[in-house]
């Protein structure tokens, strides 16, 4: 019986060969595959939900939080969302073969660049089974092969979705091995995967801090880190407080178990005494636990004491850290010190302060007068996302189709030689 290393090497080799075939496929054929995948998902709803229930039951037995279970759950509405994502990607312009930066040099050479697929991408994720569909939609459309390695909490859901994806590829006449799913959820499968540099061009870890660090420390393949989301909202002294209430409620409560939810609320001291009790009443109704600094607890004595660790914690739950700050400078300093550089927001009626926030906060996405919950590839018009990159090379923020391309120089001549 082959060992894990041999099994993964064999799988990666098949994905690499399939990626070369997929890279040559025209847009209509790739779109046809996505259409067939959507039909497979629609026709197998009950089977998907049944497999997902196995993961949910297991998660409840493990004592996973309600927010975690929500992140794991697939129901008819979310299956509709998966189908919608596939159709959204079908409607996107195919970036493969796009020529740009074309210039004519004094010697008559025409020099430019063309977008080509990266090759093979391995994505390591944890508990969100929808990742399978979003990632497959983008990699198929962009002509890349992909190896999916999901976590144990969503393994049954991930396996059935991967099977349906491969069915759709096969129906369209494209190589089903362009998408592969690893069924081994042990740590060893990650450690072996990140060594397969002869087959894999980039690794994308998408999950908690422990997973990210494991991949970064052991990978010999380039890594695009999709790290945790410690997101902030700063309510300025010049904020419309009714607007701020709606934004801050949505950013924490609408779906607390995802990476673009707000984890820390910063409030200017001049509006804190009015705004914090208003916000607490809304949060109490939603069951949000508040942890506050000393100034916050003078206004909200029921709040728990926030520790240094709280400012650095991604709760992914109905828990919120709150800090009263003296001014915009303190808010920006706090965010740049404690943020995971994911998504941060300011609520203010001051154009100057809003622009200072955008220019000085070192995060992948900065919002003025809007909820951080919008930090999402689909919401940004990308159709779907591979994840949200916290780093600066080669992509930052939601990673979409064009981010799965590599530029290649192309040169047109008519006999020129270098002297």
* Residues 177 and 15: beta-carbon distance below 8 Å: yes
Write phi, then psi, for 21 (nearest 5 degrees).
-70, -45
Do 93 and 173 share a structural domain?
Answer: yes
CB atoms within 10 A of CB 179: 29
Mean pLDDT for all residues in the chain = 96
Do 241 and 272 share a structural domain?
Answer: yes
Do 153 and 273 share a structural domain?
Answer: no
What is the tally of structural domains in the chain? 2
pLDDT in tens, 200-231: 999 999 888 888 999 999 999 999 988 889 99
Do 258 and 186 share a structural domain?
Answer: no
What residues make up the domain containing 69? 4-226+386-412
Do 169 and 25 share a structural domain?
Answer: yes
The reported pLDDT for the residue numbered 265 is 98
DSSP state of 94: P
The reported pLDDT for the residue numbered 207 is 81
pLDDT in tens, 151-171: 999 999 999 999 999 999 999
The reported pLDDT for the residue numbered 221 is 97
Please provide the DSSP assignment of 325-393 as one string. Answer: ESSHHHHHHHHHHH--SSEEEEE-S-HHHHHHHHHH--SSEEEESS-GGG-STTTTTSSS-S-EE-S-S
Of residues 33, 201, 208, 238, the one with CA closest to residue 117: 201
Give the rounded distance of the alpha carbon of 378 from its chain centre.
10
Residue 247: half-sphere exposure toward Cβ, Cα within 13 Å = 26
Q: Work out the pLDDT band at 344, boundaries 50, 70, 90.
A: very high
CATH number at residue 344: 3.40.309.10
The pTM score is 0.90
CATH number at residue 119: 3.40.605.10
């Amino acid at each position: 019986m082959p060992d894990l290393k041999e099994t993964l090497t064999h799988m990666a080799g098949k994905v690499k060969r399939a990626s070369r075939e997929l890279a040559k496929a025209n847009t209509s054929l790739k779109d046809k595959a996505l259409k067939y995948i959507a039909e497979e998902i629609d026709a197998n709803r009950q089977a998907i939900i049944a497999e997902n229930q196995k993961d949910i039951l297991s998660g409840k037995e493990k004592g996973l939080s309600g927010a975690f279970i929500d992140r794991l759950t697939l129901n008819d509405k979310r299956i509709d969302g998966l189908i919608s994502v596939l159709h959204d990607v079908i409607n996107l312009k195919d970036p493969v073969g796009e020529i740009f930066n074309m210039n004519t040099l004094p010697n008559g050479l025409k020099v430019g660049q063309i977008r080509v697929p990266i090759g093979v991408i391995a994505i390591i994720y944890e508990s969100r089974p929808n990742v399978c569909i979003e990632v497959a939609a983008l990699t198929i459309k962009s002509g890349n092969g992909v190896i999916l390695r999901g976590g144990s909490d969503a393994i049954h859901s991930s396996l059935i979705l991967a099977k349906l994806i491969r069915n759709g590829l096969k129906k369209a006449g494209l190589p089903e091995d362009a998408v592969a799913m690893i069924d081994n959820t042990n740590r060893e499968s990650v450690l072996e995967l990140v060594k397969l540099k002869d087959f894999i061009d980039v690794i994308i870890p998408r999950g908690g801090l422990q997973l990210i660090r494991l991949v970064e420390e052991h990978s010999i393949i380039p890594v695009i880190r999709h790290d945790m989301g410690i997101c902030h909202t700063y309510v300025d002294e010049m904020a419309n407080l009714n607007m701020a209430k709606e934004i801050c409620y949505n950013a924490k409560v609408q779906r607390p178990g995802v990476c673009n939810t707000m984890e820390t609320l910063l409030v200017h001291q001049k509006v804190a005494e009015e705004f914090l009790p208003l916000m607490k009443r809304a949060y109490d109704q939603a069951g949000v636990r508040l942890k506050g600094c000393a100034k916050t607890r003078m206004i909200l004595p029921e709040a728990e004491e926030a520790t240094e660790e709280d400012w650095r914690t991604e709760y992914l739950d109905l828990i919120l850290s709150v800090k009263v700050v003296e001014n915009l400078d303190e808010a920006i300093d706090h965010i740049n010190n404690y943020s995971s550089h994911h998504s941060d927001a300011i609520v203010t009626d001051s154009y100057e302060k809003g622009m200072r926030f955008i220019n000085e906060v070192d995060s992948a996405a900065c919002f003025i007068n809007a909820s951080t919950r919008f930090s999402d590839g689909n919401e940004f018009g990308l159709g779907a996302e591979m994840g949200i990159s916290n780093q600066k090379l080669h992509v930052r923020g939601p990673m979409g189709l064009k981010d799965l391309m590599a530029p290649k120089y192309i040169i047109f001549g008519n006999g020129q030689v270098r002297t």
